Amino acid sequence: MNRILVIDDEQSMRDFLSIMLKKEGYEVFAAENGEHALKAIQTEIYDLVITDVKMPKVDGIEVLRTIKKVSPETVVIVITAFATTDAAVQAMKLGAYDYITKPFKVDEIKLIIQKALEKHHLTKENILLRREIASKAGFENFIGKSGAMQKVFALIRQVADTKSTVLISGESGTGKELVARAVHYSSSRKSGPFVTVNCGALPETLLESELFGYMKGAFTGAASNKQGLFEAANGGTIFLDEISATTLNLQIKLLRVIQERTFMRVGGTTDLKVDLRVIAASNKDLMSEVARGTFREDLYYRLNVIPIQLPALRDRKEDIPLLVEHFLNQFSGTRSPKRMSPDALKRLMVYRWPGNVRELENMMERLVIITAGDTIYPESIAEMITGGQPCPELIPSEIPDTGLNMEELFENAERTLLQKALEKSGGVKTEAAKLLGLSFRSFRHRLQKYESS
């Protein structure tokens, strides 16, 4: 429901607008002067504000200026009985959507409000769309004829139109986000937003403010009110990827949202209610995490209402030829697609694919680029597939007679371990840090040394 704040020092105008807007189905709040309005916009976020210009102490122009600083996404309509060209120009320059002169026609202001809210929602949808496009990692199409994948497809169709929370488990690169999208777009919520959150990509404080939003002044750098991703997903689905990366403190707050569909912004004082579906995913066994004390048992059971287990690529090898053909067509673009020789395909079939479909996709893209002819032969992939061979030792067991450069050796070892941890965690830095027994901050600092060199 759209939230509208009406600001006017005349009670009759305030009451008239409030009654009219409530009849139109809006959630309406009223402020009797500019001072009360400033307090309201510091503690709440509104989709639309309608404000009078001439008010004692704090006028409508000052209110408009503050709104655009505190909550820049809020749309503002200015109303006045004393219209002047200069005031209108000033209001529009400060970011007002429209400038209306009293008396006005009811149908006219209804249409203006409707158009203003349409613009507001289009802006929000564009932000979500850009976020969604940016979050896609390339594994775009769901392909599989294997029995294991057919079971997954059947389960998606079965649970898609329920309200139940879904927990997707599987190794990195198996396509957990793709399953979440399939559930969403097969449901009655498909016209609503689909918001993805990588819980392992941000430290706790940043993740909390991203999820729940925040109020101006809640922390250093909070220069304006910001809507969180739970609000952005209202009416649709929120996908919490790598949920195991969250801290116990944040898990308590996530539990409340899942149980009650209510939460509070960081620095906020009022509860907000949302209507959304929660889908979570993890590449770890969450029951093992519960046993270790790193994941809340009550949150696990709240998430695990509908479990979907994704098979590793090595457990559905009959899908490899289909995936290879798909990726070859995809990366060939407008050119004739390259083909895989039988021997090369055999080599792909016996490989264990620790990085799963994502690893196969990346390999196909490289092969399309580096292969000169129309056919890919085993020799082309020899250097890309290790066949599970052990990696060379990082520290030699003996010091050679010629000596060695210890600083260089340690740097090479550190670089190799950081890279291998990232590969094992599927690029999730918080998980990679845990694998090496480092804090997220320490891991990031060490990694930056080699990224900048």
Interatomic CA distance for residues 51 and 90, integer angstroms: 15
Alpha helices in 284-427 (DSSP H): 286-292, 297-303, 320-332, 342-350, 356-370, 378-381, 406-424
Q: Are 6 and 28 in contact (CB under 8 A)?
A: yes
CA distances from 298 to 46, 261, 290 (A): 34, 16, 9
Q: 288, 311, 334: which is the final residue of a domain?
A: 311
Specify the length of the chain in residues.
453
- Taking alpha carbons only, the member of 389, 438, 403 closest to residue 418 is 438
Question: If DSSP codes are grouped into helix, strand and coil, which group holds residue 28?
Answer: strand
The span from the CA of 324 to the CA of 320, in Å, is 6
In a domain, 262, yes or no: yes
Helix, strand, or coil here: 50? strand
**C-alpha to C-alpha distance for 297 and 330, rounded to whole angstroms:** 42
Q: What does residue 308 show for φ and ψ, rounded to 5 degrees?
A: -125, 115
For residue 387, tell me if it sits in a domain. Answer: no
Task: Note whether residue 428 is domain-resident.
Answer: yes
Reference 410, options 450, 440, 376; nearest CA is 450
Q: Is 229 among the domain residues?
A: yes
Residues 272 and 148 in one domain: yes
Which of 262, 290, 311 is a domain's end point? 311
Are residue 26 and residue 89 in the same domain, yes or no?
yes
Same-domain pairing of 278 and 156:
yes
**Same domain membership, residue 440 and residue 355:** no
Q: Looking at the structure, do residues 344 and 275 belong to the same domain, yes or no?
A: no
The pLDDT of residue 101: 86
- For 335-370, give the DSSP string: SPPPEE-HHHHHHHHHS--TTHHHHHHHHHHHHHHH
State which residues form the domain around 207.
Answer: 140-311
Cα 249 to Cα 236: distance, rounded to the nearest angstrom:
26
Residues 62, 32 share a domain: yes
Q: Which two tokens mark 171? A: 């190794």
Domain boundary, last residue among 296, 311, 326: 311
Q: What span, in angstroms and rounded, lies between the C-alpha atoms of 398 and 420?
A: 24
Instruction: Judge whether 161 and 144 are in contact, CB under 8 Å.
Output: no
Q: Buried b vs exposed e over 190-208: b needs ≥16 C-beta within 10 Å?
A: eebbbbbbbbbbbebeebb
Do 116 and 214 belong together in one domain? Answer: no
Assigned token pair, 302: 């709240």
Q: Which helix (H) or strand (E) holds 37?
A: helix 34-43
* Residue 273 and residue 146 share a domain: yes
CATH classification at residue 323: 1.10.8.60
Q: How many helices (H) and strands (E) does the chain have?
A: 19, 16
User: Half-sphere exposure (CA, 13 Å, Cβ side) for 234?
Assistant: 15
- Other residues' Cβ atoms within 10 Å of the Cβ of residue 89: 11
Q: For residue 324, is it within any domain?
A: yes
Are 205 and 157 found together in one domain?
Answer: yes
Q: Whole-angstrom Cα distance, residue 450 to residue 445?
A: 9
d(CA 237, CA 253): 18
Number of structural domains in the chain:
4
List the pLDDT tens digit at each of the 453 positions of the chain: 789 999 999 999 999 999 999 999 999 999 999 999 998 988 888 999 999 998 988 999 999 999 988 888 899 999 988 767 777 888 888 889 998 888 888 898 999 999 999 888 877 776 666 555 444 433 344 788 899 999 999 999 999 989 999 999 999 999 999 999 999 988 989 888 999 999 988 888 899 999 999 988 888 888 888 889 999 999 999 999 999 999 999 999 999 999 999 999 999 888 999 999 999 999 999 999 999 999 999 999 999 999 999 999 999 999 999 999 999 998 988 788 899 999 889 889 888 888 899 999 999 999 998 888 899 988 888 667 644 343 445 566 667 766 777 777 777 788 888 888 887 887 788 888 888 888 888 888 888 876 655
Token digits of residue 256: 């409340």
Residues 219 and 189 in one domain: yes
CATH classification of the domain holding 205? 3.40.50.300
Angle between helices 106-135 and 11-23 (to 10 degrees): 60
Q: How many CB atoms lie within 10 A of CB 252?
A: 13
pLDDT the model gives residue 246: 95
At 197 the three-state DSSP class reads strand
Quick check: helix, strand or coil at residue 387? coil
Specify if 390 maps to a domain: no
Same domain, 153 and 298: yes
Give the whole-angstrom CA distance, residue 228 versus residue 212.
Answer: 4
Domain CATH code at residue 424? 1.10.10
The dihedrals phi and psi of 46, each to the nearest 5 degrees, come to -115, 145
The answer to whether residue 447 sits within a structural domain is yes
pLDDT at position 241 is 95
Domain contains 251: yes
Q: Do 303 and 232 fall into the same domain?
A: yes
